[in-house]
Amino acid sequence: MQEAIDPINTSETMNVLFMFIILLVLIGYFTEQWLGYLNHKSGQAKLPDILNNIFSPERYKTYLKYEFESYKFTTLVSLIKFLLSIFMLLCGFILLDNFVSGITENQVFRGLIFFGILGLVTDLLFTPFDIYDTFVIEEKFGFNKTTPGIYLSDKLKTYLIAAIVGGGMLSLIIWFYQVSGNNFWWIAWAVISGFSVFMAMFYSSLIVPLFNKQTPLQSGLLRERLNQLATDTGFMLKDIYVIDGSKRSTKANAYFAGLGKKRRIVLYDRLIEEQTVDEIAAVMAHEIGHYKLNHIQKSILIGIFQTGIMLWLFSLLVHNSLIYESLGAVHQNFHLGLVIFMILYSPFSMMISIGMNSLSRKFEFQADKFSSGYVDSMYLISALKKLASNNLTNLTPHKLFVKVYHSHPPLLARIQNLIKIRN
Ligand SMILES: [Zn+2]
C-alpha cells in the first residue's frame, strides 16, 4: 500500500491554516467594531469652542440622531457581512467551487463564473440594506435625491462596468497564469499598472458621464473670480467642470482628477449653490494645490508599487496545495487561491491602507497651505464649516478611527492648521 507523504501532519497543518484564516476574519471584524464604537462615542462628545458655531442647536440634535442611526445601520450590515464570510469559509466557497467545476473544465471560465456568482449574489443580498440606507435613512435627514429609476439604472450600469472591467482583467490574469507559470505575476502587474494609469486619465471622461453630467462653468461673477485664480496659479479655466451631484444627494463636494491633459477640477452643483464666490475660490485653490503638488501621480506610483508586491506574494502562494486543501478543495484552482490569499493578505492591506490614508491626510494639509497662498484662508475655513454642517459630519471623530479610515484630516485639525498658516 502506498502512503501519501505524512498524511496526519499534512491534515494538521491544513487545520491550523484553516483556524488561522478564521482567526484573521474574527480579528478583522472585532477590530472594525471596536474602532466604530470608539468613533461613535467620540462623535457624541462635547464640541470644542472653535467648532461650536458650526451647527445650530437644532442642527446639532439632527446630527446626533443621524450619527446614531448611521452607526446602528453600519453595525448591523458589518455583522451580516461577518456571518456571511464565516459561512463562505465553512462551506460556501467549496459548494460554489464544486458547482463551477461541474460546468466547465476551462480555468478562465471557472474563475469568471465563480467570481460572477459570488459578486452578484453578495450584491443582491445587500441591496435591500442599501435601499434602506438611501430611501429611509438618507431620505429622513433630507439628503436623498435619488429616485427608484436612477437607483435601478445606476445598479445596472455598475454591473455592466464590473462585468466588462472586472471580468476582462480577471480573464487576462488567469490566462497569464496558465500560459506563463511563475512569470504571471509581473505580466499581470504590467497590465494592471497600465490599466490604472489609463483609468486615472480617462475616468472623468469615460466612466463619470455614464452617471452624471459635467458642464463647463457658466459665465458670471464666479467664472470671473475663478478665471483670475486660474491665471494666478497657472491652471486652465477650461478644465473646471460643474457636476450634477444633486441628482442623487444634497451632500456636496469638489475634487481634482486626471493626469496631464486629461486633468480637471470638478465642483458639485450644490457646492456652488451653497458657498459664496470667495469660498468656492478657496476650495478651487485647494484642488489646484493637489494638481500643482503632483498628488495624483504620487498616489498612483505608490499604488503600482504595492500591487507589484501583492502579486509577487500571491505568486509564491498560488501553487501551494495546502491553501486549497485548508478549505477542503481537492484540486488547485486559481479562484480559490485568490480568495484565500486575500484573507491572508488582509492584515497587510489594512496596514497599507493606514499608510495611504496618512499620506492622503498629509496631502490635504499641503493643498490647504497652497490654497492659503492665493485665497485668504478664512474663506477655506468657512467653506469647510459649511460643508461639515450640510453633510452632518462627525466633528469629533476618534483619533484611532481617523488613523485607520480617514483620507482627510478632521475639520478641527484643518482649521487649526489654516489659522497657524495665516498668523
Ligand atoms: Zn483635498
CA distances from 373 to 147, 253, 339, 416 (A): 42, 21, 48, 16
- What pLDDT was estimated at residue 8? 52
> How many Cα atoms within 13 Å fall on the side-chain side of residue 181?
1
Residues near 40 by beta carbon (within 8 Å), at least 6 away in sequence: 67, 68, 71
Q: Order of strands, edge to edge, in the sheet holding 214-216?
A: 214-216, 240-243, 264-268, 254-257
Distance, CA of 257 to CA of 204 (rounded, Å): 7
From the list 183, 169, 189, 181, the residue with the least C-alpha distance to 311 is 189
- What pLDDT was estimated at residue 1? 39
Mean pLDDT by groups of 10 residues along the chain of 423 residues = 50 83 96 98 91 91 96 97 96 93 93 96 97 97 96 97 95 92 90 93 92 92 92 87 95 89 91 95 95 94 95 89 78 86 93 96 98 96 94 96 97 96 88
Pairing relation of β-strands 240-243 and 264-268? parallel
Ligand 1 center to 197 CA (angstroms): 20
Ligand 1 center to 418 CA (angstroms): 14
Domain boundaries in the chain?
9-214+289-422
Cβ pair 85, 28 in contact under 8 A: no
pLDDT digits 0-9 by tens, 7-33: 556 677 778 889 999 999 999 999 999
Cβ pair 374, 232 in contact under 8 A: yes
Strand, helix or coil for residue 163: helix
Which residues participate in catalysis according to the annotation? 287, 368
Cβ pair 334, 26 in contact under 8 A: no
Distance, CA of 25 to CA of 16 (rounded, Å): 14
C-alpha cell at 281: 475660490
Residues near 327 by beta carbon (within 8 Å), at least 6 away in sequence: 18, 89, 93, 94, 336, 340
Ligand 1 center to 286 CA (angstroms): 6
Ligand 1 center to 131 CA (angstroms): 29
**Model pTM score:** 0.90
- What pLDDT was estimated at residue 6? 53
Ligand 1 center to 71 CA (angstroms): 25
Biggest CA–CA distance in the chain, Å, is 89
Spell out which residues have Cβ within 5 A of ligand 1, the ion.
Answer: 364, 367
Ligand 1 center to 281 CA (angstroms): 14
Ligand 1 center to 407 CA (angstroms): 9
| Percent helix / strand / coil, the chain, rounded to 5 | 80, 5, 20
C-alpha cell at 196: 490604472
- What pLDDT was estimated at residue 411? 96
